[in-house]
Structure 1
Amino acid sequence: MFDTEYSGYMTPGARRLVSRDGVGHTFDSGSFALELLLTGGPPPWDRYELWHTPDDLADWLAGSHLAAELPLATGEVRVTEEELEAARKFRDALFRIAPTLALRNDKGKPMPGVGPMTAADVELVNAAVGPVPRPVLDADGTKVWELPITGAQVLSLAARELIDLIGTDSGKRVRMCEGDNCYLLFHDTSRPGNRRWCSMQRCGNRHKVGNYRSRH
């Protein structure tokens, strides 16, 4: 998002986005926690809100990084109104935490309308840690999710992942796209650790075109 509109997903965790100029591109945040930033947020990012009801959150999870480990059907996640509200508050905190990390790494820029990470944000993340979705074996010996998966379990998974990003060297790979007016955040999981763009289809290509025009 951030100058793009959500359009769906191709494989779990890889989201199809469409920019204001109508160009589609695939974006992978490399992280389940950072993927939550694509669903809306505090003003002015609330205009991208996708989680209007508990079912919206459950539907969205079926295309998330959570489903990359095991397939996840919409009806396998049960979200209450309270859990939806908790997820939104967690996401708002994430909007302050992730850009702060990117700026510390000199791999980001200030995000419009969003302040720095606070002690209250860290407290909220810690409070979200609890039981997470569990993979189990069914009667046929197939690996499946233990059902139902709850909204609280999903939030706990995001909190645990975020703590790993903040509290370990992994945090050094939290970055913001270097494209002009693009604020998409990602965890660089590439082996060389040199990812610069939300997508080579969009901002990476724009950079290449700009360099070409400058040279010619």
Structure 2
Amino acid sequence: MTLATGMRLVGLDGQSFRFDAGTLCLELLLTGGEGELSKWERLHTPGDLADWIPNSRAGLGDLVQVSAGELAATLRLRAALQRLAATAASGSRAFSAADLSALNEAAAAPPPVPVIGPALERGWASPVTGAQFLSMVARDAVEVFGGPALDRVRMCGGERCLLLFLDTSRPGARRWCSMDRCGNRHKLRTRRDRHPAG
């Protein structure tokens, strides 16, 4: 099971960049959301979610079968995760009881079942249901929001950038979604402010 370490994203300005959310539960937020995030919505049908999962760090490949009900449950969990992550990134711990309940409900379902093949390769019992995938996401979120990693949930420091990530850097000093995008823009702005033209 090879895990992805990031995804290629394209901003509204057409710029392509690599983004590592640092953890599966925050990676799910890259599929869209409510309000301003709706312009990036990718999950319109169960097939959209099934197509997205192999690109995630879940390591499930194309084994996941998603029903309409499981897509609806994914959208509910994603909305709760978005609110929890934004709250954590702001430094607050005033989490909504309803959002924590949504997380616990998804985590209560059985996760995917690991198996080992004849060549001693690791894999997953097939098929994997959408509910099992959601359990995997929710259990990851329980680890993030219920443990020491909570203090490392961040929102990109770029202007108008809404990307949330888990700072997995050793010093815990990550500020940007990507140095190739918001980090570079900040450097350019700082340079212009120090050396204004003519």
- TM normalised by structure 1 equals 0.84
Give the aligned partner of residue 5 of structure 1.
none
Separation of aligned partners in 2, 1:38 and 1:121: 18
Separation of aligned partners in 2, 1:201 and 1:56: 28
Give the aligned partner of residue 181 of structure 1.
160
Contact 1:78 1:148 survives alignment (8 Å)? yes
Of 6, 15, 29, 2:21 maps to: 29
Shift of 1:19: 2.0
Separation of aligned partners in 1, 2:65 and 2:140: 21
Of 18, 31, 35, 1:39 maps to: 31
Give the aligned partner of residue 131 of structure 1.
110
Shift of 1:13: 4.6
What are structure 2's unaligned runs of at least 5 residues? none
Shift of 1:141: 2.2
Shift of 1:146: 1.4
* Local SS of the residue matching 1:124: helix
Contact 1:93 1:117 survives alignment (8 Å)? no
Q: 1:214–1:44: structure 2 CA closer, same or farther, 3 Å change rule?
A: closer
Separation of aligned partners in 2, 1:13 and 1:158: 16
Give the aligned partner of residue 53 of structure 1.
45
Of 64, 69, 73, 1:86 maps to: 73
Shift of 1:213: 1.2
Give the aligned partner of residue 204 of structure 1.
183
Shift of 1:43: 2.2
Contact 1:13 1:32 survives alignment (8 Å)? no
Separation of aligned partners in 1, 2:82 and 2:120: 40
Contact 1:13 1:63 survives alignment (8 Å)? no
* Local SS of the residue matching 2:193: helix
Contact 1:12 1:62 survives alignment (8 Å)? no
Separation of aligned partners in 1, 2:114 and 2:153: 28
- Number of matched residues? 191
Separation of aligned partners in 1, 2:61 and 2:23: 20
Shift of 1:135: 2.2
Of 84, 91, 96, 1:104 maps to: 91
Contact 1:29 1:35 survives alignment (8 Å)? yes
What are structure 1's unaligned runs of at least 5 residues? 1-10, 106-115
RMSD: 1.5
Shift of 1:20: 2.6
Separation of aligned partners in 1, 2:14 and 2:64: 33
Separation of aligned partners in 2, 1:185 and 1:191: 18
Matched, 1:14 2:15: no
Q: What whole-Å deviation, never above 9, does each CA across 1:48-107 have from its counterpart, x for those lacking one?
A: 21111111111100000112xxxx432x111111111100100111121100000016xx
Return 78-87 or 47-56, whichever deviates more. 47-56
Give the aligned partner of residue 112 of structure 1.
none
Separation of aligned partners in 2, 1:78 and 1:19: 29
Shift of 1:147: 1.1
- TM normalised by structure 2 equals 0.91
Contact 1:58 1:77 survives alignment (8 Å)? yes
* Local SS of the residue matching 1:62: helix
Return 196-205 or 146-155, whichever deviates more. 146-155
